[in-house]
Homo-oligomer: A and B are copies of this chain.
Amino acid sequence: MNDMRDQFIKAMSSAGTTVYVVTTDGTAGQHGVTVSAMSSVSADMDDPTLLVCIHHLSPAADAIMENKAFAVNMLRSDQSQISNTFAGRIAEGDSKFDHVDWHKLETGVPILTDALVSFDCTLYQKERVGTHYIFIGGVVGIHHPEEGDALVYSKRSYGRFQQIA
């Protein structure tokens, strides 16, 4: 029992966070994982930068370090099923990518075709902090097919952004 840990998780759950699927492919193979710990970093570089935090035991973390590329796919408000698919473990011989349409941009990692926005990134820097890696990506391609609402997670529920009138 760690009181500070439990307090921290409970307090953080009050935030509304957009839901992303982070994907990678290359010599370490194809992996994907659902992530809400994502942030824009800097827009004013030659390549804009963003970051995602991924648990060090996730197979996707090792794969990103070897593949040196990843994509950050922002889910739409009606794609909670895709969030669940990439958050879960799957049966042997199955692939999470069988359940989605995807294509490639610059780096060759999977871009989810129906995502609201996808950022195609090369691995720019990584930092290990506690249980997680912070992966900083340089954005080399953006797939932004059309307008729509992002999938947001808060207080252990899925939802969307509602503007205050």
Main secondary structure of the interface of A (DSSP, over half): strand
How far is A57 from B144 in the complex, measured between Cα atoms in Å? 30
Q: Are B134 and A129 in contact (CB under 8 A)?
A: no
On chain A, the number of residues with a Cβ less than 8 Å from chain B's Cβ atoms is 59
Q: Are B117 and A124 in contact (CB under 8 A)?
A: no
Chain B hits for A51, CB < 8 A: 39, 51, 53, 134
Chain B hits for A132, CB < 8 A: 41-42
Q: How many copies does the complex hold?
A: 2
CB contact under 8 A between A117 and B161, given known A42-B130, A42-B131 = no
How far is A43 from B157 in the complex, measured between Cα atoms in Å? 20
Interface string of A51-94 (1 = CB under 8 A from B): 10100000000000000000000100100100000000000000
Q: Are A160 and B160 in contact (CB under 8 A)?
A: no
Chain B hits for A74, CB < 8 A: 11, 14-15
